[in-house]
Amino acid sequence: MSGDGRHHTPQFKLQVVLESLRGEQSAAQIAREHGIGANLLSRWRDVFREWAPQLFQDGRGEGAPRRRASPSGNGSSGSRPSN
């Protein structure tokens, strides 16, 4: 079975996954409200749970996607980006 070709932004996926993790509504209700299947939401949650711990590995987020450095700096200061 193939999907309808829709692509959801990472921000949308994160929003829906975090909403489902709050536990205020069932996964089926959240999926329905956002126009996605419950199985798709389940896959997104599985991916989130697999990769989320790496965000906190040795305090620097090794293995996680990096934020783009601002044009005025090189991002090597070790401080948190302001955006």
Question: Is residue 70 packed enough to be buried (19+ CB in 10 Å), middle (13-18) or exposed (0-12)?
Answer: exposed
pLDDT 10s digits, 30-51: 999 999 999 999 999 999 999 9
- Residue 4 is predicted with a pLDDT of 64
Tokens encoding 74: 């090189």
Query: Rounded to an integer, what distance in angstroms lies between the CA atom of residue 80 and that of residue 83?
Result: 9
Q: In which residue ranges of the chain is pLDDT below 70?
A: 1-5, 59-83
Cβ-contact 31, 15 below 8 angstroms: no
- Residue 39 is predicted with a pLDDT of 97
Phi-psi region of 59 (alpha: psi -120 to 50; beta: other; left: phi over 0): left
Spatial neighbors of 70 by CB under 8 A, at least 6 apart, are: 81, 82, 83
Cβ-contact 25, 50 below 8 angstroms: no
- Residue 32 is predicted with a pLDDT of 98
